[in-house]
C-alpha cells in the first residue's frame, strides 16, 4: 500500500512519543503544557520514510485516561497500530482500554512494542512479553509480531522499521476513487493562509481547487492548497495525512469532529442502525441509556434503543438504534465506540448498518431480519432494502446515497429489479428516476381509485378530477414530471384515462339523464338567443327541473363541450356570440384604438356585459388596454 497511517496506543508515559521521535526524529509533543507535564494531550503527527522509499504517517496519541477522546480521534482512520507497553510497568489500565478500542474498531493490522527495555533485566522482560501476549489473546492483535526496543539506546529500532515495512506492504489501499471524506482532527489558522484543517483522508481524492463541504455545518468552500506530510502537493489521495487550506471559512466555524466531504453526497444523521457489542468487563447496558458516541474524530451524546431486549449483558452483541443529540457524518460499515456518559469508561462499540433509517419498532422479527440482510447483503440487497423501507418511494439519487453506492450501479441494479417485477421506475425531474415498490403502487392505486369513484358519483357530468388537485391531495412529495409518469403507468395498464388536465377511471363518460338532456337543450337555446346580453345562470334555468348544484354542473358540462364560454363569474357567452363579438371588435380595431363605449354601441349591448367581455379578451391576449382605450393584438 502506498499510503499508510500508523498510530500508537498504550498507557500514559509508556514511551510512545519517544518511540515516534526515535523512528522519525520528530518530537510530536508540540504544546507547552505537554512539555511541562511530560504527556501528550493533543494528537502528534510525524512522517516516516521506509527503506523502500515509501512514506508512512505516524500518529502519536495520548495515553492518559483523561484524554481518551483525543486517542479515539487518532486511532480513527489508521491502518496499523503500534500497541506500546513499557517494560518497567507492563500492561496497565489504559493499555487494556486502548486494546479494547483497537479491537472494537477492527484496526486491520498491528505490532506489539515493548519499550524502555534498557530499564529492566532480561528475566523481567520475558515476563512482560508473556503478559503482553496474554493480554491480546482473543483480540484483533492476537498473533501480531512483537518487538522490544529502547528509544534511549536505539536497540530494536531498526527491527521495528523492518517490521513496519513488511506489515504495511500487506495492507490493501483505501478507495481513492470513492467520495471524498476527511474527518477533521485539527483546525487552526496561519497568517497569510487562513483556515487550515488536517486529518486522514478516508476515501476519495482532493485536488487543489476542489469544491468541498464541511459537515454537519453545511459550509461550502474550496481547497486553496494541500500538504501531505508537510509537503505541498497538487492532490491528496485516500490513506494520506492531509492538511487542507480552505477559502472563505473562519477558523471559528469548524471544529474537530467536523468532516470535509464531497458536496452533495453526505447527509448528517441523528439516527443510526447499528450492530453493538458490549465489552465483557462493562456493566449491563439498558434500553434508552445515555451514552457517548465516537466515530472518526466526532463525539456525540445520544441514547441506545435496544431493538430486541431491554438490557444488553456484558460480552453480548445486539442490534440497536442510536438516537444522537447532534448530527454526525456516518456511512454503513463504519466502526464506532461507545463510552458511558459518566464516569467516562469505554463500554463497547460496533458497526453502523444504515444511516438516517426510519424509527424502528422494537421486538419485531421483520426489523431484525432487515438489519441482518443489511449487514450481510450485497449492494443489490442493501439497495432493495433501502427502497423497501420507503412506503412513499424515493428518488434513485437518494436511494444510491442511502445504500452508499454509485448512482450508475444503482440504476443497473434497479433496472434489473424492474424486469423482475420488484420495483417500478418512474421518470423524475433533472434526469433522475423515482422508485416505487409494487406494494406501495397498489396502495396508491386503491386510494386513487376510491377518490375517482367518489368524484364520479358526486360530479357525474364532469370529465374527471383535475390532475393538480389529485397530486396535491395524495402525492405532495412527487414533482410534476414524476406524477405524470405515475399517471402514464396506470394509463398503460388501462386503469385510467387522462384528458387534458382531468383524470378519470378508464371507460368512464359523463352521463346525462333524460331530464338533464331536456334542460341542456333549453339552456343552449336561451344563451344563443341572449346573444351579446346573455342571461344569468338563474334566468337561463328559469322553469327548468334542476335541483341543488345541478345547474352549475350542467353549465360546466356545456363549457367543456365548447358550447358556452365562461367570460366571468356568473357570466357565460354562447360560443357563436363570442366569435361574432371578436370579429366585430377586430374590424373596429383595424381603425385604431377604441373605447368601451364604442364596443358597447357596436354590439348593441350594455356596460354590464361589455366590460367583463373586454377584460376576458384582455386576459386571453386578444386585446390590450392602453389608458382608457384598447387595441387589438391577437
Given the C-alpha cell 459537515, which residue does it identify?
Answer: 215
HEC assignment per residue over 483-530: HHHHHHHHHHCCCEEEECCEEEECCCCCCCCHHHHHHHHHHHHHHHHH
Write the CB contacts of 357 (distance below 8 Å, at least 6 apart in sequence).
271, 272, 273, 321, 389
- Which of 21, 6, 38, 14 is CA-nearest to residue 154? 21
Q: Give the whole-angstrom CA distance, residue 161 versus residue 52.
A: 11
Helix axes of 480-492 and 467-474: crossing angle, nearest 10 degrees: 110
Is the distance from CB of 222 to CB of 194 less than 8 angstroms?
no
Q: Give the whole-angstrom CA distance, residue 187 versus residue 465.
A: 58
Peptide bond into 343 cis (omega under 30): yes
Write the CB contacts of 542 (distance below 8 Å, at least 6 apart in sequence).
none
Considering 8, 11, 17, 60, which one is annotated as catalytic?
Answer: 17
Q: Give the whole-angstrom CA distance, residue 450 versus residue 456.
A: 10
Q: Can you list the pairs that 543-551 forms with residues at least 24 positions away whose Cβ atoms lie under 8 Å?
A: 544/518, 544/519, 545/515, 545/519, 546/516, 546/519, 550/516, 550/519
Report the largest interatomic distance among the alpha carbons of the chain, rounded to a whole angstrom: 124
Q: Give the whole-angstrom CA distance, residue 347 versus residue 345.
A: 6
Considering 11, 13, 437, 556, which one is annotated as catalytic?
Answer: 13
- Which of 4, 52, 57 is CA-nearest to residue 170? 4
- Which of 162, 268, 167, 172 is CA-nearest to residue 214? 268
Peptide bond into 291 cis (omega under 30): no
Is the distance from CB of 242 to CB of 176 less than 8 angstroms?
no
Specify whether 64 is catalytic: yes
* Strand pairing report for 4-10 and 80-86: parallel
* Residue 313 host element (H or E): none
Specify whether 518 is catalytic: no
* Residue 236 host element (H or E): strand 235-237
Exposed / middle / buried, residue 81 (Cβ in 10 Å: 0-12, 13-18, 19+): buried
Specify whether 17 is catalytic: yes
Query: In 68-166, where do the E strands start and end?
Result: 80-86, 109-115, 146-148
Q: Give the whole-angstrom CA distance, residue 542 versus residue 521.
A: 13
Q: If you ran DSSP here, which 8-state letter would residue 481 be given?
A: H
Beta bridge partners of 4: 56
Specify whether 491 is catalytic: no
- Which of 140, 369, 405 is CA-nearest to residue 277? 140
Q: Give the whole-angstrom CA distance, residue 43 versus residue 22.
A: 17
Q: Give the whole-angstrom CA distance, residue 189 versus residue 193.
A: 7
- Which of 180, 106, 186, 178 is CA-nearest to residue 142? 106
Considering 11, 14, 16, 456, which one is annotated as catalytic?
Answer: 16
Polymer length in residues for the chain: 634
Is the distance from CB of 70 to CB of 186 less than 8 angstroms?
no
Q: Catalytic residue positions?
A: 13, 16-17, 64
Amino acid at each position: 500500500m502506498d499510503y499508510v497511517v500508523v498510530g500508537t496506543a498504550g498507557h500514559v508515559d509508556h514511551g510512545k512519543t519517544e518511540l515516534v521521535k526515535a523512528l522519525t526524529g520528530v518530537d510530536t509533543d508540540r504544546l507547552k503544557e505537554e512539555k511541562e507535564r511530560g504527556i501528550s494531550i493533543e494528537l502528534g503527527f510525524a512522517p516516516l520514510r521506509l527503506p523502500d522509499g515509501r512514506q508512512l504517517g505516524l500518529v502519536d496519541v495520548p495515553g492518559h485516561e483523561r484524554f481518551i477522546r483525543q486517542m479515539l480521534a487518532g486511532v480513527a482512520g489508521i491502518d496499523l497500530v503500534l500497541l506500546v507497553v513499557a517494560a518497567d510497568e507492563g500492561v496497565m489500565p489504559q493499555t487494556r482500554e486502548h486494546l479494547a478500542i483497537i479491537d472494537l474498531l477492527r484496526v486491520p493490522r498491528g505490532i506489539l512494542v515493548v519499550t524502555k527495555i534498557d530499564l529492566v533485566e532480561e528475566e523481567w522482560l520475558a515476563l512482560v512479553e508473556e503478559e503482553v501476549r496474554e493480554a491480546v489473546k482473543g483480540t484483533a492483535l492476537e498473533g501480531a509480531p512483537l518487538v522490544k526496543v529502547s528509544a534511549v539506546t536505539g536497540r530494536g529500532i531498526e527491527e521495528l522499521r523492518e517490521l513496519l515495512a513488511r506489515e504495511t506492504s500487506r495492507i490493501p489501499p483505501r478507495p481513492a476513487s470513492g467520495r471524498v471524506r476527511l474527518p477533521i482532527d485539527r483546525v487552526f489558522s496561519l497568517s497569510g493562509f487562513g483556515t487550515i484543517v488536517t486529518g486522514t483522508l478516508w476515501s476519495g481524492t482532493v485536488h487543489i481547487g476542489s469544491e468541498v463541504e464541511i459537515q454537519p455545518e453545511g459550509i461550502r468552500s474550496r481547497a486553496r492548497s494541500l500538504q501531505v506530510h508537510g509537503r505541498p502537493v497538487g492532490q491528496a489521495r485516500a490513506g494520506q495525512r492531509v492538511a487542507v487550506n480552505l477559502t472563505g471559512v473562519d477558523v471559528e466555524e469548524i471544529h474537530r469532529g467536523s468532516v470535509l466531504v464531497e458536496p452533495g453526497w453526505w447527509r448528517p444523521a441523528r439516527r443510526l442502525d447499528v450492530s453493538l457489542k458490549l465489552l465483557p468487563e462493562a456493566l449491563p447496558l439498558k434500553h434508552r441509556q445515555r451514552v457517548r458516541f465516537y466515530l472518526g474524530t466526532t463525539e456525540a451524546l445520544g441514547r441506545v434503543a435496544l431493538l430486541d431486549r431491554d438490557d444488553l449483558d456484558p460480552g453480548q452483541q445486539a442490534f440497536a438504534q442510536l438516537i444522537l443529540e447532534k448530527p454526525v457524518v456516518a456511512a454503513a460499515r463504519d466502526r464506532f465506540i461507545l463510552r458511558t456518559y459518566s464516569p467516562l469508561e469505554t463500554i463497547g462499540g460496533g458497526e453502523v448498518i444504515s444511516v438516517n433509517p426510519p424509527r424502528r419498532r422494537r421486538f419485531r422479527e421483520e426489523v431484525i431480519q432487515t438489519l441482518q440482510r443489511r449487514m450481510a447483503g450485497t449492494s443489490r440487497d442493501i439497495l432493495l432494502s433501502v427502497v423497501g423501507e420507503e412506503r412513499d418511494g424515493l428518488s434513485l439519487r437518494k436511494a444510491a446515497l442511502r445504500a452508499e453506492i454509485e448512482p450508475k450501479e444503482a440504476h443497473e441494479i434497479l433496472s434489473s429489479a424492474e424486469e423482475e417485477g420488484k420495483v417500478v421506475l418512474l421518470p423524475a425531474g433533472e434526469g433522475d428516476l423515482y422508485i416505487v415498490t409494487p406494494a406501495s403502487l397498489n396502495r396508491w392505486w386503491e386510494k386513487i381509485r376510491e377518490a375517482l369513484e367518489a368524484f364520479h358519483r358526486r360530479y357525474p357530468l364532469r370529465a374527471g378530477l383535475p390532475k393538480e388537485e389529485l397530486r396535491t391531495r395524495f402525492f405532495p412529495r412527487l414533482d410534476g414530471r414524476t406524477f405524470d409518469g405515475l399517471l402514464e403507468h396506470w394509463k398503460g395498464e388501462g386503469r385510467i384515462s387522462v384528458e387534458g388536465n382531468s383524470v378519470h377511471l378508464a371507460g368512464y363518460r359523463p352521463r346525462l339523464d333524460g331530464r338533464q338532456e331536456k334542460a341542456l337543450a333549453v339552456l343552449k337555446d336561451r344563451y344563443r338567443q341572449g346573444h351579446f346580453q346573455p342571461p344569468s345562470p338563474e334566468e337561463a334555468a328559469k322553469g327548468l327541473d334542476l335541483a341543488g348544484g345541478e345547474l352549475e354542473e350542467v353549465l360546466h358540462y356545456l363549457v367543456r363541450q365548447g358550447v358556452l364560454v365562461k367570460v366571468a363569474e356568473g357570466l357565460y357567452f354562447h360560443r357563436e356570440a363570442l366569435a361574432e363579438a371578436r370579429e366585430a371588435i377586430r374590424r373596429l380595431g383595424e381603425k385604431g384604438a377604441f373605447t368601451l363605449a364604442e364596443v358597447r354601441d357596436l354590439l348593441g349591448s350594455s356596460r354590464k356585459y361589455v366590460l367583463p367581455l373586454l377584460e376576458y379578451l384582455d386576459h386571453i391576449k386578444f386585446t390590450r388596454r392602453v389608458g382608457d382605450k384598447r387595441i387589438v393584438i391577437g
